[in-house]
Structure 1
Amino acid sequence: MQQNNGLDKSQIISFAVLCLVLFGFMFYFQNKQQKEEQVKAGQTKTEQVKNAVKPTQATNINPNVTPNAIKVSNLSNKELNLEFSSLGGQISKVELLKYKAYDRKTDKADLSLNLITKNNSNYGFQFKDKTGKTINTKDLVFSPSVSGNTVTMTANYNEAVIQFIYTLKDEYTVDFKVRSQGLAKVTSDTKADFIWDYRVRNLEKGRAQEQSHSEFSYAFNNYKDYDYDGRTTMEEPDETLNWVGVKQQFFSSVIEAKNGFTKSTGNQEAFEEGEYLKKLDYAGQVQMTGNELNQDFNWYFLPLDLKLLKTYDKNFDDILPLGWSFIGWMNRGFFMPMYNLIASWGITAGWVIFLMTIIVKLILSPIMYKQHKLSAMMKVIRPEIDEANAKFKDADPMKKQQATMEIYRKAGVNQMAGCLPALVQIPIFYALFRFFPNFIDLRGQGFWFAKDLTAYDDLIKLPMKVPFLGDHLSIFAIACTIVILIYTVMTSGNMQQPQQEGMPNMKVLMYIFPITFLFFLNTSASGLSWYYFVSNAINILIIFVIKYIILDEKKIHAQIQANKEKPKSEGKFQKRMREMMEKAQDQQKAVEQKKKK
Structure 2
Amino acid sequence: MQKNKLDKNQLIGFILIGIILIGFLIYSNNQQKEAITEAQNTEKKVVENEKSTVAVNTPEPIKPDPDSQAKVELIPFTNDNLDIKVSTLGAQLREVRLKKWTAYDKDNNSHKKPLYLVNKNNSDFNISFKDKNGKIINTRDLVFTPSVQGNEVIFSANLKDALIQFKYKLKGKYSLDFSVFTQGLSKITSVQNALLEWQQNALALEKGKSQETIYTEYRYSLNNYSQTDYDTNGFEEEKDKIDWISVKQQFFATILESQNGFYKSKGTQQSEKEDPDYLKNFVFSTIVPLQKGDIKQNYTWNFLPLDYDLLKSYKTESGDSKQFSYNIPYGWMKWLCIFYLWVYEFLAKFGIAAGWIIFLMTIVVKLVTSPIMYKQYIQGAKMRILKPEIEELNEKHKNSDPMKKQQATMDLYRKAGVNPLAGCLPALIQIPIFYSLFRFFPNNIALRGQSFLWADDLTAYDSIYEWTTHIPLLSSIYGNHISLFTILYCIVLLIYTRMSTSTMQQPTQEGMPDMRFMMYLMPVMFIFWLNSYASGLSWYYLVSNAINIILILLIKNFLINEEKIHAKMQQNKAKPAKKRSRWQQKMQEMMEQAQQQQKQIQEQKAKQQNKKK
TM exceeding 0.5: yes
Post-superposition shift, 1:274?
2.4
Moved more, 475-484 or 486-495: 486-495
Post-superposition shift, 1:27?
12
Residue aligning to 1:257: 258
CA contact under 8 A between 2:383 and 2:505: conserved in structure 1? no
Residue aligning to 2:74: 72
The one of 16, 28, 36 equivalent to 1:40 is 36
The one of 140, 146, 165 equivalent to 2:142 is 140
Residue aligning to 2:404: 399
Residue aligning to 2:155: 153
CA contact under 8 A between 2:462 and 2:535: conserved in structure 1? yes
Q: Does residue 426 in structure 1 map to residue 436 in structure 2? A: no
Q: SS of the counterpart of 1:269?
A: strand
Q: SS of the counterpart of 2:442?
A: coil
Relative to 1, partners in 2 of residues 1:588 and 1:205: Cα closer, same or farther, differing over 3 Å?
A: closer
Residue aligning to 2:88: 86
Q: Does residue 473 in structure 1 map to residue 479 in structure 2? A: no
CA contact under 8 A between 2:380 and 2:503: conserved in structure 1? no
Deviations, residues 372-431 of structure 1 (Å, cap 9, x unaligned):
000011111100000011111111001110111111111101111111232112111111
Post-superposition shift, 1:63?
8.3
Residue aligning to 1:14: none
Q: Distance in 1 between matches of 2:207 and 2:380?
A: 43
Relative to 1, partners in 2 of residues 1:296 and 1:46: Cα closer, same or farther, differing over 3 Å?
A: closer
The one of 324, 329, 333 equivalent to 1:321 is 329
Aligned residue runs from structure 1 range 189-588, under 5 A: 189-230=191-232, 232-272=233-273, 273-313=275-315, 314-324=322-332, 327-332=333-338, 334-462=339-467, 464-465=469-470, 466=474, 467-495=476-504, 502-567=511-576, 568-588=578-598
Post-superposition shift, 1:149?
3.1
Q: Distance in 2 between matches of 1:286 and 1:47?
A: 25
Q: Distance in 2 between matches of 1:588 and 1:282?
A: 59
CA contact under 8 A between 2:4 and 2:510: conserved in structure 1? no
Relative to 1, partners in 2 of residues 1:274 and 1:47: Cα closer, same or farther, differing over 3 Å?
A: farther
CA contact under 8 A between 1:85 and 1:91: conserved in structure 2? yes
Relative to 1, partners in 2 of residues 1:316 and 1:36: Cα closer, same or farther, differing over 3 Å?
A: farther
CA contact under 8 A between 1:255 and 1:299: conserved in structure 2? yes
Q: Distance in 1 between matches of 2:264 and 2:559?
A: 65
Q: Distance in 1 between matches of 2:136 and 2:495?
A: 67
Residue aligning to 1:59: none
Q: Distance in 2 between matches of 1:28 and 1:125?
A: 44
CA contact under 8 A between 2:169 and 2:177: conserved in structure 1? yes
Q: SS of the counterpart of 1:492?
A: helix
Post-superposition shift, 1:176?
0.6
**Paired AA for residue 242 in structure 1:** D
- Using CA pairs below 8 Å that are at least 6 residues apart, which structure has the higher relative contact order? 1
Q: SS of the counterpart of 1:385?
A: helix
**Paired AA for residue 508 in structure 1:** F
Post-superposition shift, 1:577?
1.2
CA contact under 8 A between 2:61 and 2:142: conserved in structure 1? no
Aligned residue runs from structure 1 range 17-28, under 5 A: none
Deviations, residues 551-594 of structure 1 (Å, cap 9, x unaligned):
01111111111111223221111111112223333444456567
Identity %: 48
Q: Distance in 1 between matches of 2:603 and 2:444?
A: 67
Residue aligning to 1:56: none
**Paired AA for residue 238 in structure 1:** K
Q: SS of the counterpart of 2:480?
A: strand
Count of aligned pairs between the two proteins: 565
**Scaled by the length of structure 1, what TM-score is found?**
0.89
Pairwise CA RMSD = 2.8
**Paired AA for residue 512 in structure 1:** L
Q: SS of the counterpart of 1:101?
A: strand
**Paired AA for residue 416 in structure 1:** L
Q: SS of the counterpart of 1:164?
A: strand
Deviations, residues 222-261 of structure 1 (Å, cap 9, x unaligned):
111111111x222111111111121111111111111111
Relative to 1, partners in 2 of residues 1:591 and 1:529: Cα closer, same or farther, differing over 3 Å?
A: closer
5+ residue gaps, structure 2, are: 7-16, 49-59, 64-69, 316-321
**Paired AA for residue 446 in structure 2:** D
Q: Distance in 2 between matches of 1:445 and 1:329?
A: 24
Deviations, residues 35-83 of structure 1 (Å, cap 9, x unaligned):
643422434569959x99xxxxxxxxx9899xx9311110100110110
Q: Distance in 2 between matches of 1:33 and 1:95?
A: 34
Post-superposition shift, 1:497?
6.2
Post-superposition shift, 1:496?
6.5
Post-superposition shift, 1:347?
0.8
Q: SS of the counterpart of 2:375?
A: helix
CA contact under 8 A between 1:219 and 1:241: conserved in structure 2? yes
Q: Distance in 1 between matches of 2:40 and 2:221?
A: 34
Q: Does residue 118 in structure 1 map to residue 123 in structure 2? A: no
**Paired AA for residue 329 in structure 2:** P
Post-superposition shift, 1:286?
1.7
Relative to 1, partners in 2 of residues 1:26 and 1:590: Cα closer, same or farther, differing over 3 Å?
A: closer
Q: Distance in 2 between matches of 1:590 and 1:93?
A: 76
Q: Distance in 1 between matches of 2:29 and 2:159?
A: 46
CA contact under 8 A between 1:70 and 1:85: conserved in structure 2? yes
**Paired AA for residue 126 in structure 1:** S
Q: SS of the counterpart of 1:197?
A: strand
CA contact under 8 A between 1:217 and 1:226: conserved in structure 2? yes
CA contact under 8 A between 2:61 and 2:141: conserved in structure 1? no
Q: Distance in 1 between matches of 2:539 and 2:329?
A: 21
Q: SS of the counterpart of 1:141?
A: coil
CA contact under 8 A between 1:121 and 1:197: conserved in structure 2? yes
